Structure 1
Amino acid sequence: MRHKTVLITGGNAGIGYETAKELLQRGARVIIACRNINKGLQSLTKLHLETKCKQDSIRLMECDLSSFESVRKFAKLYNAKEDRLDVLICNTGLIYSPNIYTKDGLNSIMQTNYLGHFLLTNLLLDKLKQCRSSRIINVSSSAHKYPPTNKGITALVNFKSDAIWGSYGPSKACQILSSYKLKQDLLDHGVDVFTLNPGWIWTSFQDSLHSALGTWLFVIVYPLLIIAKFIFGKTPLTGARTTVYCAVEPSLKDSYILYFENCARAKPSSLCTNSESAEYLWKLSCEAVGL
Structure 2
Amino acid sequence: MHNLESDSEDELPPGWEEKSTEDGNVYFISTCTNKIQWTHPRTGKKKVIPKELPFGWTKTVDESGKTLYVQKETGDKTYIDPRLAFAKEEKKHVHDFRQKYDGSSTAFQILHGVDLSGKCALITGSNSGIGFETAKSLVRHGCTVIFANRNMESTQTAIEEIVKETKASEDNLKTVHLDLASLHSVKKCALAVKTITSCLDILILNAGVFGLPYIETENELETTFQVNHLGHLYLTLLLEPVLKHDSRVVFVSSESHRFASLKNVFTQQNISMTRDQYSSMMAYNNSKLFNILTAKVLSEEWRSKNIRVNSLHPGNMVFTNLSKSWWLYRLVFFLIRPFTKSLQQAAATSVYVATSADLDGVTGLYFNNCFYCEESTLARDKDIANEVFAMSLKMIDDRMGSEGIEKYIDRYCVANIQSER
| Fold similarity call, TM over 0.5 | yes
Q: Please say if residues 201 and 235 of structure 1, whose CA atoms lie closer than 8 Å, have aligned partners that are also in contact.
A: yes
Q: Could you tell me which of 277, 288, 291 is aligned with 1:172?
A: 288
What is the one-letter code of the residue matched to 2:222?
Answer: N
1:266, CA displacement in angstroms? 1.1
Percent of counterpart pairs with the same letter?
A: 31
**SS of 1:167 mapped into structure 2:** helix
Q: Please say if residues 256 and 285 of structure 2, whose CA atoms lie closer than 8 Å, have aligned partners that are also in contact.
A: yes
Q: Please say if residues 61 and 74 of structure 1, whose CA atoms lie closer than 8 Å, have aligned partners that are also in contact.
A: yes
Could you say which structure has the higher helix fraction?
1
Kindly indicate whether structure 1 or structure 2 has the higher relative contact order, using CA contacts under 8 Å at least 6 residues apart.
1
Is 1:61 equivalent to 2:176 in the alignment? yes
Q: Could you tell me which of 337, 342, 349 is aligned with 1:229?
A: 337
Aligned twin of 1:49: 164
Q: Residue 204 and residue 186 in structure 1: after superposition, are their counterparts in 2 closer, same or farther (change >3 A)?
A: same
Q: Could you tell me which of 298, 307, 310 is aligned with 1:182?
A: 298
Aligned twin of 1:134: 247
Query: Which protein is bigger by CA-based radius of gyration?
Result: 2
1:80, CA displacement in angstroms? 3.1
What is the one-letter code of the residue matched to 1:284?
Answer: M
**SS of 1:133 mapped into structure 2:** strand
Aligned twin of 2:324: 207
Structure 1 stretches of 4+ moved >6 Å: none
**SS of 2:148 mapped into structure 1:** strand
Q: Give a deviation string over 1:215-236, Cα, whole Å, max 9, x none.
A: xxx7xx83x65543333x2222
- Aligned partners of 1:182, 1:152: CA distance in 2, in Å? 25
- Aligned partners of 2:364, 2:390: CA distance in 1, in Å? 24
- Aligned partners of 1:225, 1:282: CA distance in 2, in Å? 32
- Aligned partners of 1:136, 1:9: CA distance in 2, in Å? 12
Q: Residue 276 and residue 98 in structure 1: after superposition, are their counterparts in 2 closer, same or farther (change >3 A)?
A: closer
Aligned twin of 1:262: 369
Between 1:244-253 and 1:200-209, the stretch displaced more is 200-209
**SS of 2:210 mapped into structure 1:** coil
Aligned twin of 1:251: 358
What is the one-letter code of the residue matched to 1:287?
Answer: K
1:265, CA displacement in angstroms? 0.8
1:92, CA displacement in angstroms? 0.1
Aligned twin of 2:311: 195
Q: Please say if residues 105 and 160 of structure 1, whose CA atoms lie closer than 8 Å, have aligned partners that are also in contact.
A: no
Q: Please say if residues 146 and 176 of structure 2, whose CA atoms lie closer than 8 Å, have aligned partners that are also in contact.
A: yes
Q: How does 1:150-165 map to 2 (within 5 A)?
A: 151=263, 154=266, 158-162=271-275, 163=278, 164-165=280-281
Q: Please say if residues 100 and 107 of structure 1, whose CA atoms lie closer than 8 Å, have aligned partners that are also in contact.
A: yes
**SS of 2:139 mapped into structure 1:** helix
- Aligned partners of 1:225, 1:96: CA distance in 2, in Å? 12
What is the one-letter code of the residue matched to 1:6?
Answer: A
Q: Please say if residues 265 and 271 of structure 2, whose CA atoms lie closer than 8 Å, have aligned partners that are also in contact.
A: no
RMSD: 2.1
Could you say which structure has the higher strand fraction?
2
Q: Please say if residues 180 and 227 of structure 2, whose CA atoms lie closer than 8 Å, have aligned partners that are also in contact.
A: yes
Q: Please say if residues 159 and 170 of structure 2, whose CA atoms lie closer than 8 Å, have aligned partners that are also in contact.
A: no
Q: Please say if residues 124 and 206 of structure 2, whose CA atoms lie closer than 8 Å, have aligned partners that are also in contact.
A: yes
**SS of 1:106 mapped into structure 2:** coil
Aligned twin of 1:102: 217
What is the one-letter code of the residue matched to 2:338?
Answer: F
1:51, CA displacement in angstroms? 1.0
What is the one-letter code of the residue matched to 1:54?
Answer: S
Aligned twin of 1:287: 394
- Aligned partners of 1:99, 1:35: CA distance in 2, in Å? 20
Q: Please say if residues 152 and 271 of structure 1, whose CA atoms lie closer than 8 Å, have aligned partners that are also in contact.
A: no
Long gaps (5+) in structure 2: 1-115, 403-421
1:242, CA displacement in angstroms? 0.2
**SS of 1:31 mapped into structure 2:** strand
- Aligned partners of 1:109, 1:225: CA distance in 2, in Å? 19
Aligned twin of 2:103: none
- Aligned partners of 2:307, 2:134: CA distance in 1, in Å? 20
Q: How does 1:64-83 map to 2 (within 5 A)?
A: 64-83=179-198
How many residue pairs align between the two structures?
Answer: 278
Q: Please say if residues 300 and 364 of structure 2, whose CA atoms lie closer than 8 Å, have aligned partners that are also in contact.
A: no
What is the one-letter code of the residue matched to 2:253?
Answer: S
Q: Give a deviation string over 1:212-261, Cα, whole Å, max 9, x none.
A: x4xxxx7xx83x65543333x22222110000001110121111451000
- Aligned partners of 2:167, 2:214: CA distance in 1, in Å? 39
- Aligned partners of 1:289, 1:165: CA distance in 2, in Å? 24
What is the one-letter code of the residue matched to 1:134?
Answer: S
Q: Please say if residues 261 and 286 of structure 2, whose CA atoms lie closer than 8 Å, have aligned partners that are also in contact.
A: no
Long gaps (5+) in structure 1: none
Q: TM-score, normalised by structure 2?
A: 0.63
